[in-house]
Structure 1
Amino acid sequence: MLRVSYDDVKAAAERIDGVTRPVPVIPVDPGAVGSAEIHLALEFMQHSGSFKDRGAANFAAAHLADGTMPNAGVVIASGGNAGLACAWAAARHGVPATVFVPRTAPEVKVARLRALGAEVRQVGTEYAQAQESARLFSAETGALASHAYDDPYVVAGAGTLLPEIRAAVPGLDTVVLAVGGGGLFAGTAIAAERHGLRVVAVEPERCRALNAAIEAGEPVDVEVASVAADSLGARRVSETALYWARRSDTVSLLVSEEQIIAARRTLWEHRRLVVEHAAATALAALMSGVYRPSPGERVAVVLCGANTDPATVA
């Protein structure tokens, strides 16, 4: 398990200050979800289109400062978003980046990876297969291995999001977010504990790594067969995420494919926001009633990424 504290989150915030974009937070129309006060955190407006910029920027800055970034650059396995963020952060410093993605990765993400200057290698049909190929590449070339969600710098970087949301929403009670491998969740849970906030972790029924780990008492392999699998398709959650789920005031919930698709379409029809199915997964918990806020509860929903084809929602 990674040892990451709130001090690490604060250090990450200093490293990425002025590098990543502050998250815009907008209110949802009153009465949309009972009498709760709902806000949308538009984290998909980062440079590479997702929250992953925070962890990637922190990872690159920390290793460059420590002199531990090799000439071979950095390598990462990704469903797409972590690779995009890694490529973006590496390009800022002129560092080579090699990204392994499943052959099933959306073409829009693969094209953006190449546009950012990354060497893209497509292998297998799942994140786990890309991860094994990235591990072998690191061993063969000496490239610094990054991880999409299970790295202390990545987790600490992800944790910088919640303090920004909290500053934008005075009196915030709850943050709702989608969970894949657990990097954003773990970082958010660390920050939430410091500030006494609840975390609602939402996953697709057919992509439920954290929920299954909580149920089993340890990380276990799960089915990866969701419309949101390109972003949330980790076969098992990190031990760090499970630790923080048990330690923090976390609510673990599941939503159906139909609920995810409906939430994504609603964001387009009512806000003209085009997001990934992963981002819609968080909102689906509220729209479907799977999570019912208390009257007056102040809730922020993280829209975590938007690297998707707009034609699929119009």
Structure 2
Amino acid sequence: MDWQDSITAAAERIAGHVVETPVLRSTVFGRPIDLKLEQMQHTGSFKTRGAFNTLLASDVPVSGVVAASGGNHGAAVAYAAQKLGHRARIFVPEIAGASKIGLIERTGAELTVVPGEYANALELAEREAAESGAMQIHAYDAQPTVAGQGTVLREWDRQGLEADTVLIAVGGGGLIAGALAWLGGRRKVVAVEPMTSCALHAALEADGPVDVAVSGVAANALGARQIGSICFDLAKAVGVESVLVSDGAIVEAQTALWQAHRLLVEPAGAAALAAMMSGAYAPAPGERVAILVCGGNIAPDPISS
């Protein structure tokens, strides 16, 4: 797999369908850091990149597309399908929350809210795809999804990224897999996960994907029960440092982003900053650090109609 070519092709494919999100240089967190504001993407997260890349690169059947999601992926697929004229059926767990559920509903997609976790929604989505012939778009463990998410780092590079180290929150691993695929070891990548939902950390310790329990404030975005195989393989091949953060640290970082820069982000979007603020990741003197702010679908929605 030539990931560089795949990500470049994805970037060209989705141009005009996604936002080139801005970068903010901040000096209020104890050291200069660059923040990539991907919560400003359509539907409030990076997921829109992978959704558009998959749909635009595929021969979508008349029966449309099916996706299981903790919320952000479902919203992205629903949005992309609406813009491209495809039928979409989205399955989300109850923990997705009212804000993300409302976001999906506003796209006009057919939505099913499932008791339990992401894994329960995935089971029903797989059944629906098998019975209807619809194309399933996996939230993180599929090549077109990963290539789409990798366009974040390609874009950031083209915006002048100079960091030695990039901190990225991890759920199922699609975003960090795309980052690792694009960077190819050229910069250090630190994987940040909640202590209560840490599929990559557990896989690295076990030398293979394993099931983990899922809970906590970021579970509706970082709540994959098992890390994707693409992410695990890239993490092993390229090398990635894995750190864990508490729910309290995530909430503190979420609050700090609002107080310092009036950035409203969901817990998952603040997790990477939480690693630095809490000391879970301690940069060396002079180390240039960049942080990917991945999502902004805060619950409850602070401005709801």
Query: What TM-score does the superposition give when structure 2 sets the normalisation length?
Result: 0.96
Where do 5+ consecutive residues of structure 2 fail to align?
A: none
Among 35, 40, 46, the alignment partner of 2:35 is: 40
Q: Per-residue displacement from partner, 1:34-89 (whole Å, max 9, x unpaired)?
A: 4xx311110011111100011001001001xxxx2111100000000000000111
Alignment of 1:120-131 (within 5 A): 120-131=111-122
User: Residue 165 of structure 1 is aligned with which of 156, 164, 186?
Assistant: 156
List runs of 5+ in structure 1 lacking aligned partners: none
Distance in 2 between residues matched to 1:84 and 1:171, nearest whole Å: 32
Given that 1:102 and 1:124 are in contact with CA atoms closer than 8 Å, whether structure 2 keeps it comes out as yes
Worse-superposed segment, 226-235 or 264-273: 264-273
Q: How far apart are the structure 1 equivalents of 2:26 and 2:300?
A: 22
- The equivalent residue for 1:185 is 176
Structure 1 counterpart of 2:61, which letter?
P
What's the CA shift for 1:11? 0.8
Instruction: Give the whole-Å Cα distance in 2 for the aligned partners of 1:28 and 1:5.
Output: 31
Q: 2:292 maps to which residue?
A: 302
Q: Which residue number corresponds to residue 22 of structure 2?
A: 24
Instruction: Report the equivalent of 2:51.
Output: 56
- How far did 1:124 drift? 2.2
Q: Which residue number in structure 2 is paired with residue 11 of structure 1? A: 9
Tell me which amino acid in the other structure corresponds to 1:263. Answer: A
Name the counterpart of 2:211: 221
Could you say which residue in structure 2 is the equivalent of 1:69? 60
Task: Say what the alpha-carbon RMSD is for the aligned residues.
Answer: 1.5
Shift of 1:246: 1.1
Helix, strand or coil at the partner of 2:6: helix
> Kindly tell me: are residues 132 and 166 of structure 1, through their superposed partners in 2, closer, same or farther at Cα, counting changes over 3 Å?
same
- Matched with 1:199 is 189
Aligned equivalents of 1:96, 1:150: Cα separation in 2: 22
CA distance, structure 1, for counterparts of residue 230 and residue 70 of structure 2: 20
Question: Secondary structure of the equivalent of 1:160?
Answer: helix
- Contact 2:251–2:267 under 8 Å retained in 1: yes
Contact 1:180–1:231 at 8 Å: present in 2 too? yes
2:280 matched residue in structure 1: 290
Residues of 2 paired with 1:250 and 1:88: CA distance?
A: 32
Q: What's the offset of the Cα at 1:167?
A: 2.5
3-state SS of the aligned residue for 1:234? coil
- Indicate conservation of the 8 Å contact 1:197/1:249, yes or no: no
- Summarize deviations over 1:216-263 as a string: whole Å, max 9, x none: 001000010111000000000011111111111311100011101111
Deviation beyond 6 Å, 4+ runs, structure 1: none
How many percent identity over aligned positions?
A: 47
1:245 and 2:229 are equivalent in the alignment: no
CA contact 1:4–1:152 (8 Å) conserved in 2: no
Give the Cα separation in 2 of the matches to 1:4 and 1:111.
38
Offset from partner CA, 1:265-310 (integer Å, 9 cap, x none): 1111111111110011111001111111222222211110111236
Q: Indicate if the aligned counterparts of 2:173 and 2:227 stay in contact, CA closer than 8 A.
A: yes
Calculate the TM-score normalised by the size of structure 1.
Answer: 0.93
Name the structure 2 match of 1:107. Answer: 98
How many residues align? The count is: 303
The reply to whether residue 81 of structure 1 matches residue 72 of structure 2 is: yes
Does structure 1 retain, via aligned residues, the 8 Å contact 2:99–2:301?
no
2:269 pairs, out of 268, 275, 279, with 279
Counterpart Cα distance in 2 of 1:152 and 1:264: 31
Q: How has the CA–CA distance of structure 1 residues 255 and 239 changed in structure 2, closer, same or farther, with 3 Å as cutoff?
A: same
What is the distance in 2 between the residues matched to 1:226 and 1:72?
A: 36
Give the drift of 1:33: 2.9
The answer (yes or no) to whether the contact 1:40–1:302 under 8 Å persists in 2 is: yes
1 CA distance for matches of 2:293 and 2:100? 17
CA offset digits 1:134-164 (Å, max 9, x no partner): 0000011111011010111100000011122
Q: 1:141 and 1:128 mapped to 2: Cα distance?
A: 20
- 8 A contact 1:211–1:252 mirrored in 2: yes
User: Which amino acid in 1 is paired with 2:30?
Assistant: V
